[in-house]
Structure 1
Amino acid sequence: MAGGTRVADIIGMRDDQVINKACSFAMKDHKPPAKPYILEKSRGSPDTYFFIFPGSWLVSDWFAQKPFGETKINRPDNPPKFPSLRSIGNDEVATVNDAFLRRFEEKILGASDFKEKVQKAETDKKQIVFTGHSLGGSMAILATLWFLDNCKFDKTSPPLCVTFGSPLTGNRIFSHALRREKWAPYFIHFVMRYDIVPRLLLAPIPSIEKEFESILRFFATKSVNKPEEAPDFYRTVMTNAASVASHAACNLMANPNLLLETVTNFTALSPYKPFGTYFFCTGNGKPVVLRNSDAVLQLLFYSSQLNSEAELHEIARTSLDQHFGYENELKKMQDVVDLKKLETLSYSAEATGSDSATINSALNDLGLSTRARLCLLAAVEFEKRKQRNMDSIDTKKIQKEITELESYRVICKTRLMSCYDAFRLHNSPHDFKANVNRLELASIWDEIIEMLKRYQLPDDFEGQKDWVELGKRFRRLVEPLDVANYYRHSKDEESGPYLGTPGKPRKPRPKRYIYTQRWLEHAQKLPAESSGESHFWAEVEELRTKTSSPDGFEQVKPRVLQLERNIQKWVNGEELGKDKDVLLCQESILVKWWKTLPDQHKKDSAFNNLIY
């Protein structure tokens, strides 16, 4: 590769040889029974280790259950192997192709020395490149994700995942989570214009299963004669790709048409979505680069459309040949057309101006129509709209209301009361003003949560340090007041305990606290539900009720002991603020309740030493 913007410039590598070598290794004919992975130490790049994953031409390695073969990436009966692959607040776990996941878990993680070799390479400070062609690309993706989530690595030399003709592997949560963790730049995917494999999982398994067996046999033998099923296979895949792309485009454009919802009720759409950086190979040595996953989905469809029905047989054959054309394509690559400034794109195929003309020429090479260009622009606008939503949040008002409540906490301390005890009694004008602050903040944060539930904020929002910190301050300061208000008005008698009842899905606890607690736990890699310092008062209130009966204490003794341990930990760590003298004073609701517990328990409890 020479001249202009190089592939290495896009991905931050010193030279393009790493990509060329990854392609050469990935495209080797790994005939069965192939090893689960191959480790190559390149002579020209001694500091780079290539972990290469061979593909498979067995249908069972591609498809599991129907219609799309997806499953949650973290098995419910095991510790999560990919804890970051979820949306944090919504707690929505990413889904992945089940056959791919099983192959990775059983043949790579479970039956080889893969973990040891990868960890040694990182310890030896080698540049690690995970790579694969076809299904091997999906194995490389899962290997990279496992590494990022389970191994310590130098962020100045992160791992790189390079795939060639890889099928789509996971759903939209993949892209969401990788952008939040700032891992998306580590994933580089090369796709030939007509290669059918990166598109095939956009079709339901039953619609292509029979033809796909013939396609895989062709791939395995690399026969000169194309399977007669190729045209029907191509048509079926692209018809379903059209449905997925059209539905996604309507959502990007905020189309209010209720017909969209009706259609999805009757027609199952593929859950698979792209993520990372895509290089679309045009065939003329000038690949087009896209990082916007919504735009990539549109390009996967529109770049491989037929101009006429007469092209079907020829394009169908080309779609199979191009699956093995990556090495030759990389050899002739020159300038790279980076669509980072996609907003400069013109609707017309006759654009002028240096930047616009370059982009326009590249998109013409991909055969993009006016409609296709509109869909790409819609993807760009969708990202801008999410950024505008975040910018519209009144952070100054949040800070102002929080500052006033912090002043309220100081006032309560001068009254020799914790803010929880004072707000529970609610007999001072200061308490009334604090309630106004509480309601103002609740309104703002509820709007934020609603936008998060609909994925209308930037993907990295929940991972931004400023928002994690602001959410922590908000939760620790305001939730005790919410709990006090809940029990002051005896809402537990109608709606049950604030923290909910085991076995019942509904919990009165507002999502504005659940989400912000999850942000902190994720950022600090804490166990789920471990940072309950903002709502421990709800546990106190419930235990007060349960221990009021003669035999009540014995029934909840483990919970009492756990609460005591937690409070001691939170007091020592100052998670409960610096006013522990009023929190644990003799007139505190907490202390008054604790004194009602059996004498032997109080005598043996370390909590006794905390009370003033």
Structure 2
Amino acid sequence: MILFSNGSETANLVASSGLLQQSWNANSDLYENSDPNERLRFQVYSQGNYNILAFVTSSWTLQADQADLASSSTFKEDFPVFEFLCSKKHPTFAINKATIFLFASYHDKLLPLKNQLCQVSKDNPLIITGHSLGGSIASLFTLWMLDSMDLTKTKRPLCITFGSPLLGDSSLQKAIFQYQTWNSCFLHVVTSLDPVPRIFMHHIPVHQKGVYKPFGTFLICSESGSACFEDPDSILELLVATASYGAQSQNPYESVPLVDYGRVVENLFNRTFLMDTIELPAWAAQPFEAGIIRQLRAIGVALSQHQQQQKINIINLVNREKRVISKKSFNPSKKLNDMKINMAYLEWYKKWSKDQKTGYYDVYKKKLNEWDIKVEGFKKDLTNYWIDMVKEVENKPQKEGAAFRTRWLFGGTNYRRMVEPLDIAEYYKEKKPNYETQGRSDHYIKLEEWQKEEKKSESNPNNLKKEKVSSILTIDSCFWAKVEEAIILCNLLKTEKFGAEEKMNKLKDFENHVWGLLTNYEVSPEIFLPESSFMKWWKDWKPYTRTLGSSFTSPLHDFIESGAHVEYDRGNWSPPIYYQLL
């Protein structure tokens, strides 16, 4: 696949669409025709087939202490509006203190507006815009709306900010970036003449230096051109590299002349961006590298005179932007289809193993056939995929993570029940003990916890399970680990008298667990194949079932010795009434 760095093309598209002019005009009108003493001003402008919501703030709201960050943990009790952005990996995040406090003070006025716009946006697209600190408020309002919207039924809002300072820390950036549909809703227009977008990069307390991170797409403009970048580290570097002398030297907390973004967007609209007229170094012949160089030249970034250093700088930018593209192009649905093919091979392997009178688990444990090696590859691909999917869920904001989890849980549950027994086989083949407490992967634990919470895959009635019993996967994906531990306990009973009662009680518990699975048709009938590890355990345990006395009944003994497991395999068995009443 050939990658293109198309930031210049993206800049052309948004600039030529007229949306930038309309958005800036709304900000400009709000400055001119609203109460200048109001700290936060906002208004909805109808543009026919879409609406624009604009935010601006009074110039005096920029104070010298406004670089401080406020952790979400400090305001979650009094103002938990943005708790949905938290995830297990990022349980807290930080937002610029002045912005969140200003937003909170207007919350009651903004709430009915948000509810109204969520309804209107089902039919008419919404652009949310703001200038300077108003742009930060616009970003928060957009996030607030995104959490309330069903994006499968509602058009996504587009947030366009002009000269907005950075809003929050890396945890906020990562929370938004983990959900690409959200990240793509933000376009930040920045000019080289404006110091405000750069203030929190330099004028923050020493102990907080470097914590601000951008999110969304940045349209960076200079007198010579413009370009778009999405990687946060690249944006930070370019904000510094593109700052004009005036923007670098001004104190943004003092009275700063309003940058005329109207002129900036008009220039963008009229300008033809520099594309193929520059000479490229020989090593930059690839489309993506060439595109990065063109963008840097377009915004007036001076490249190193030393070719090797220039090459290093470009390669760093290229790699970061490629990672962004790779993340954006991650398509779980397409990848899941590939994983279904691997699952189909494993299902065939399971059927073939049954024909060998040994069973899926034990055939793989022995690994005597060429197919066992192929299955190992399928297992590895599936495991890597589902480990990534579990991480994807945990990294997402809470609401999106829960929705994502529900959507993919059926596939994850089938994977766990099909593949975890193979991991267990490898584990005990290496003579390791206690798989469930010492060897189990976290992603299996998470998938099982989520499945239990949903309780959807357990809702099938017994009649349906009976019809499919020959192909069912054992509900307990750690079943074979329990079998292996039961075998170990039986061996210890033969050689150790100390602690015999405790071992017997554990073995009774295991038998009861097996019986519970059988009565609900939740265990694969292949466990009764002659060469299976389960039947090996049963041969060792069966003599004990006759000597346990009247206090312990063994329905499993009657089940196996009477041949009822044959009827179970056919889906014709039901627990005897006597045992149902126990």
In structure 1, what is the equivalent of residue 265 of structure 2? 330
In structure 1, what is the equivalent of residue 235 of structure 2? 296
How big is the shift at 1:162? 0.9
Contact conserved, 1:71 with 1:98, CA < 8 A, in 2? no
Q: Deviations over 1:284-312 (max 9, x none)?
A: 7x443334444322211111265xxxx79
Q: Which of 477, 489, 496 is residue 418 of structure 2 equivalent to?
A: 477
Q: Which of 131, 140, 149 is residue 142 of structure 1 equivalent to?
A: 140
In structure 2, what is the equivalent of residue 49 of structure 1? 51
Greater helix share, structure number: 2
Label 1:550 to 1:113 Cα distance change in 2 as closer, same or farther (>3 A). Answer: farther
In structure 1, what is the equivalent of residue 23 of structure 2? 19
DSSP-derived class of the 2:213 partner: coil
Contact conserved, 1:5 with 1:336, CA < 8 A, in 2? no
1:337 and 1:291 map into 2 onto residues whose CA distance is 22
DSSP-derived class of the 1:295 partner: helix
Q: Which amino acid aligns with 1:38?
A: F
Q: Which of 262, 267, 279 is residue 219 of structure 2 equivalent to?
A: 279
Matched, 1:126 2:144: no
Contact conserved, 1:195 with 1:322, CA < 8 A, in 2? no
Structure 1 segment 230-241 matched on structure 2, within 5 A: none
Q: Which amino acid aligns with 2:237?
A: Q
Is there any run of 5+ residues in structure 1 with no aligned partner, and where? Answer: 208-266, 349-353, 455-462, 501-506, 603-607
Q: Which amino acid aligns with 1:189?
A: H
Q: Deviations over 1:375-431 (max 9, x none)?
A: 35521234447889999xxx99988865543322112444678635x469x46846x
How big is the shift at 1:85? 6.9
Label 1:450 to 1:181 Cα distance change in 2 as closer, same or farther (>3 A). Answer: closer
In structure 2, what is the equivalent of residue 504 of structure 1? none
1:428 and 1:372 map into 2 onto residues whose CA distance is 53
Label 1:328 to 1:439 Cα distance change in 2 as closer, same or farther (>3 A). Answer: closer
Matched, 1:437 2:378: no
Matched, 1:509 2:444: no
2:502 and 2:384 map into 1 onto residues whose CA distance is 35
Contact conserved, 2:90 with 2:175, CA < 8 A, in 1? no
Contact conserved, 2:121 with 2:154, CA < 8 A, in 1? no
Q: Which amino acid aligns with 2:420?
A: E
How big is the shift at 1:151? 0.7
Q: Deviations over 1:143-184 (max 9, x none)?
A: 222322331136784211011121222345636853753443
Report sequence identity in percent.
21
Q: Which amino acid aligns with 1:112?
A: L
How big is the shift at 1:444? 8.9
Contact conserved, 2:55 with 2:129, CA < 8 A, in 1? yes
1:94 and 1:534 map into 2 onto residues whose CA distance is 39
How big is the shift at 1:102? 5.5
Count of paired positions: 479
Q: Deviations over 1:127-152 (max 9, x none)?
A: 21222222222222222223223311
Matched, 1:379 2:317: yes
In structure 1, what is the equivalent of residue 360 of structure 2? 419
Q: Which of 299, 319, 325 is residue 363 of structure 1 equivalent to?
A: 299
Contact conserved, 1:288 with 1:337, CA < 8 A, in 2? no
Using the size of structure 2 for normalisation, the TM-score is 0.58
Contact conserved, 1:412 with 1:418, CA < 8 A, in 2? yes
Q: Deviations over 1:62-95 (max 9, x none)?
A: 455xxx5455799599999565776xxx944573
Q: Which amino acid aligns with 2:214?
A: P
Q: Which amino acid aligns with 1:362?
A: A
How big is the shift at 1:511? 5.4
Label 1:115 to 1:318 Cα distance change in 2 as closer, same or farther (>3 A). Answer: closer
Label 1:158 to 1:434 Cα distance change in 2 as closer, same or farther (>3 A). Answer: same
How big is the shift at 1:588? 10
DSSP-derived class of the 2:215 partner: coil
Q: Deviations over 1:472-502 (max 9, x none)?
A: 7755532232245446767454xxx63x5xx
Label 1:94 to 1:152 Cα distance change in 2 as closer, same or farther (>3 A). Answer: same
DSSP-derived class of the 2:210 partner: coil
Contact conserved, 1:26 with 1:133, CA < 8 A, in 2? no
Q: Which of 145, 168, 171 is residue 170 of structure 1 equivalent to?
A: 168
1:206 and 1:150 map into 2 onto residues whose CA distance is 35
Label 1:359 to 1:387 Cα distance change in 2 as closer, same or farther (>3 A). Answer: closer
2:260 and 2:572 map into 1 onto residues whose CA distance is 73
2:293 and 2:342 map into 1 onto residues whose CA distance is 51
DSSP-derived class of the 2:121 partner: helix
Q: Deviations over 1:531-587 (max 9, x none)?
A: 99998433896799899889999x99xxx9xx98xx98xx9xxxx9xx966589999
How big is the shift at 1:48? 2.4
Contact conserved, 1:54 with 1:133, CA < 8 A, in 2? yes
DSSP-derived class of the 1:278 partner: strand
Contact conserved, 1:295 with 1:380, CA < 8 A, in 2? no
Label 1:377 to 1:435 Cα distance change in 2 as closer, same or farther (>3 A). Answer: closer
Using the size of structure 1 for normalisation, the TM-score is 0.56
Q: Which amino acid aligns with 1:325?
A: D
Contact conserved, 2:50 with 2:126, CA < 8 A, in 1? yes
Contact conserved, 1:132 with 1:162, CA < 8 A, in 2? yes
How big is the shift at 1:274? 2.0
Label 1:330 to 1:363 Cα distance change in 2 as closer, same or farther (>3 A). Answer: closer
Structure index of larger Rg: 2
Matched, 1:407 2:348: yes
Label 1:15 to 1:312 Cα distance change in 2 as closer, same or farther (>3 A). Answer: closer
Contact conserved, 2:166 with 2:213, CA < 8 A, in 1? yes
RMSD: 6.4
Q: Which amino acid aligns with 1:271?
A: V
How big is the shift at 1:372? 8.0
Q: Which amino acid aligns with 1:295?
A: S
Structure 1 segment 516-531 matched on structure 2, within 5 A: 517=447
Structure 1 segment 12-411 matched on structure 2, within 5 A: 13=17, 16-24=20-28, 27=31, 31=36, 33-34=38-39, 38-42=42-46, 45-55=47-57, 57=61, 59=63, 62-64=66-68, 69-71=70-72, 81=82, 83=84, 91-92=89-90, 95-97=93-95, 99=97, 100-101=99-100, 103-104=102-103, 107-108=106-107, 112-123=111-122, 125-153=123-151, 157-172=155-170, 174=173, 177-178=176-177, 180-203=179-202, 205-207=204-206, 269-283=209-223, 286-304=225-243, 306=245, 316=251, 321=256, 324-335=259-270, 359=295, 362-364=298-300, 375-384=313-322, 404-411=345-352
